[in-house]
Amino acid sequence: MASSASAVRPPRPKKEPQALVIPKNAAEEQKLKLERLMKNPDKAVPIPEKMSEWAPRPPPEFVRDVMGSSAGAGSGEFHVYRHLRRREYQRQDYMDAMAEKQKLDAEFQKRLERNKTTAEEQTAKRRKKRQKLKEKKLLAKKMKLEQKKQREVSVWTVGCKFENHCYGTWPLMLHIPVSKTV
């Protein structure tokens, strides 16, 4: 029966022999991994999960082997006690480390928030300064245009008595005849 099952299967396609490449550094190793992944882009890429942090086993809800206070404990009881003590110390150290980590995280968040508010204050201050400069420039431009209009109005009202052969009106009211060659 095994021989008939193997006869039914089609033969496997032969793989092309590939040269053995040994990476000399981390960059070459990364390059080889990328090339292998890009050979078959339809294939799913294995992305490893983030390793969870080590946590001690929680203390038991019900302790079966309660040690008595009477003398005469056997020789094996010391080892049981030693392991329980080690586990408890490990659990306490873990809780202390987690409390320290949470404290540092809280301090970091406070510092981050404080930096963010100071940056926003600086940005608002600079924005206000830019806006002030922009308004000042706009006001100066308007004043310049008003002065120009005022000059033009004053010049046009005076006019030139030699209109036929002048370039037009000048603020100083200079009379410049137009040459006929131009």
Q: What is the pLDDT of residue 161?
A: 54
Q: pLDDT 10s digit of each residue in the chain, 182 long?
A: 555 555 688 888 887 887 888 999 999 999 998 888 888 888 888 888 888 888 888 877 887 777 666 666 677 778 888 888 899 899 999 999 999 999 999 999 999 999 999 999 999 999 999 999 999 999 999 999 999 888 877 755 555 555 555 555 445 545 555 555 54
Residue 166's φ and ψ, nearest 5 degrees, are: -110, 155
What is the predicted pLDDT for the residue at 134? 96
Residue 47: half-sphere exposure toward Cβ, Cα within 13 Å = 2
How many angstroms separate the Cα of 150 from the Cα of each of 13, 75, 132, 147, 163? 94, 113, 27, 5, 21
Distances (CA, A) of 135 to 124, 139, 147: 16, 6, 18
In this prediction, residue 122 carries a pLDDT of 97
pLDDT at residue number 60: 77
- Cα–Cα distance for residue pair 90/93, rounded to 1 Å: 5
| DSSP one-letter code for 62 | S
Q: What is the pTM of this model?
A: 0.45
